[in-house]
Amino acid sequence: MEVAAFTLVWIGLALYALLAGADFGVGLWVLFASFTRREEEIRKAAFGYFGPVWEVNGLFLVFFIVGLMAAFPSALALLSRALIGLVLFALVMFVVRSCAYALLHHGPERYHPVARWTFGISSVLAGLGLGYAAVAPSSGFIRGDALDPGFYTSALALTALPLTLMGSAHLAAVVIAAYAHARERGEVATEWLRRKALVAGAAMLPLTVLFTISLVTEVDYIRDQISSLRVLPMVAGGAAILLGMWSLLRRRYASASLLIFAGYFAGLMGGAFLMYPYMVYPELTISEGAAPDASLLFYLVITAVGLPLLIAAMVALYNMTLGPERAQSERLREPAEG
C-alpha cells in the first residue's frame, strides 16, 4: 500500500517538476528574448501559454506536499528540517516571481520593464533552488536531520544545476513553440523557439552524461542499481525525448511536446525506481516513512477518485486555452456579449 501511495505522491512531484519546470523556463526565455529583436512576439507567445496554466501548475506542489503530509509525514518532517534553507529560498523567489507576474499582467505599463526582469530572474533562481533541493534526498548528504554543507559544492549538485536549468529551458521552448504553432501566434516566435528547443535538447545530452557520472561516483547505492534492469524507465524516457526531438526537427509540434514531456516524466519516475526502497537515502525508506494504514488507505481512495477527475478537467482547460484555435471556433455558437 505504501508503494502505491508513494507512486502517487511521486507522480505529483514529477508533474510539478515538469509543468513548473516549463514555467520557470518561460521566465528564462522572456529574459533571453529581451536581448533580441524578436522580443515582442516571443513574449506574447510565452505569456499566452503561461497565463492560463501557471496557477494550476503551481498547485501540484501543494498536491505533493499534502500527499507527503497524509501518507509520509516523517519524510515531510525530515525534508522540512534538512532542506529548510533551500526551500525557503525557492519559495521567496516564487513569491517574487508571482508578484512580478501580477504586475505584468494586471499592473500599469510603467512597471512592466522592471516586472519583466524581475519575472525572468526570479524564475531562474526559483528553478535553481528547487533543482538543488530535488537532488538532495538522493545524494546521501542528508544525515540525521540536517543537510551536510558539503552537498552544495558536491559534483552531484553542481551538475544537477545546469541540468535543471537546461531541462526547463528545453521544456518551455517546446511547449511555447507548440502553443504558438497551434494558435497561429506568429511563425517567427514558433521558429525561434523551435531552434532554441533543438539547441537546448542537444545540450541536455552531455549534461545528462555528466550528471550520471557524478551520481554514480558519489552515491554508492545508485552505482549498485544502475547496471540492473531498474534503469529501463530512464532509458525509455531518454528514447522518448530523442523521438520527440526528431518530431520537432520535422515540425510536428504536438507529438514533439507530448513525447518530450513523456520522456522527462519517465526519467523522473525512473529516478524514484532507482532509489527504491529509499525515499531519502540513506536515512529513510518508503515503509519507514509511511503513515498508518488507515491514513494510506484514505489517501489512496481519495486520490483514486480525485485524480482522474482532476486530469479530465485539466485536459479540458489545456485543450481550450492551448489547443488549436479552429477546432474551438467551430464549436462556438454565438459569441458572448460584452
Partner 1 sequence: MSDLLAGRAQMGISLGFHIVFASLGVGLPALICMAHFVGLKRGDEVWMRLAERLTRAFTVLVVIGVVSGIIISVELSLLWPDFMERAGPIIGVPISVETYAFFFEAIFLALYLFGRDRLSPWAHWATLIPVCLGGAASAWIIVSVNSWMNTPVGFDYVNGEFKNPDLVQAVFNPAMPGQTLHMVGGAYVATGFACAAVYAITMLRGRRGLYERRGLAVGMTLAAFWIVPLGVGGDLAGRLVNENQPAKLAAMEGVPKTEKGAPLTIGGITGRDGETKYGIEIPYGLSLLAARDPDAVIKGLEEIREDDRPPVVPVRYAFQLMLWIGNLLILAVTGYWLARWKRPRWLEGRALLCLIAAAGPLSFLAIEAGWVVTEVGRQPWIIYGLRRTSQSLTESGLVGLMFVVFTLLYVGMSIVTVIALRSELDLLPKRARHSSSSEAAST
Subset of residues 61 to 80 that bind ligand HEM, contact rule: CB under 6 A: 62
The yes or no reply on residue 316 touching partner 1 (CB under 8 A) is yes
The yes or no reply on residue 102 touching ligand HEM (CB under 6 A) is no
The yes or no reply on residue 313 touching ligand HEM (CB under 6 A) is no
Strand 142-143 with 284-285, pairing? unpaired
Residue 67 or 237 with smaller CB distance to ligand HEM: 67
The yes or no reply on residue 309 touching partner 1 (CB under 8 A) is yes
The item of ligand HEM, partner 1, none sharing an interface with residue 327, based on CB under 5 to 8 Å by kind, is: none
The yes or no reply on residue 48 touching partner 1 (CB under 8 A) is yes
Minimum CB distance to ligand HEM, residue 20 (Å):
14
Among 88, 202, 232, 254, binds partner 1 (CB under 8 A): 88
Which part of the chain contacts ligand HEM (CB under 6 A), choosing from 45-53, 55-63, 127-135, 204-212?
55-63
Minimum CB distance to ligand HEM, residue 193 (Å):
28
d(CA 333, CA 329): 8
The item of ligand HEM, partner 1, none sharing an interface with residue 3, based on CB under 5 to 8 Å by kind, is: none
Of the candidates 54, 3, 2, 5, the one whose C-alpha atom is nearest the C-alpha of residue 25 is 54
Residue, CB closest to ligand HEM: 62
Minimum CB distance to ligand HEM, residue 61 (Å):
8
d(CA 6, CA 23): 25
The item of ligand HEM, partner 1, none sharing an interface with residue 48, based on CB under 5 to 8 Å by kind, is: partner 1
List, as one string, the DSSP characters of 119-144. Answer: HHHHHHHHHHHHHHHHHHHHHT-EET
C-beta of residue 179 within 8 angstroms of C-beta of residue 48? yes
Can you read off the three cell numbers belonging to residue 334?
454565438
Minimum CB distance to ligand HEM, residue 124 (Å):
23
- The number of CA neighbours under 13 Å toward the Cβ of 153 is 2
Instruction: Note the Cα 160 to chain centre separation in Å.
Output: 14
The yes or no reply on residue 286 touching partner 1 (CB under 8 A) is no
Coil, strand or helix at 284: strand
Minimum CB distance to partner 1, residue 240 (Å):
27
Binding residues for ligand HEM restricted to 213-232, rule: CB under 6 A: none
C-beta of residue 188 within 8 angstroms of C-beta of residue 24? no
The yes or no reply on residue 258 touching partner 1 (CB under 8 A) is no
Helix%, strand%, coil% for the chain, nearest 5: 85, 5, 15
List, as one string, the DSSP characters of 47-112. Answer: HHHHHHHHHHHHHHHHHHHHHHHHH-HHHHHHHHHHSHHHHHHHHHHHHHHHHHHHHHHHS-GGGH
- The residue ranges that bind ligand HEM (CB under 6 A) are 55, 59, 62
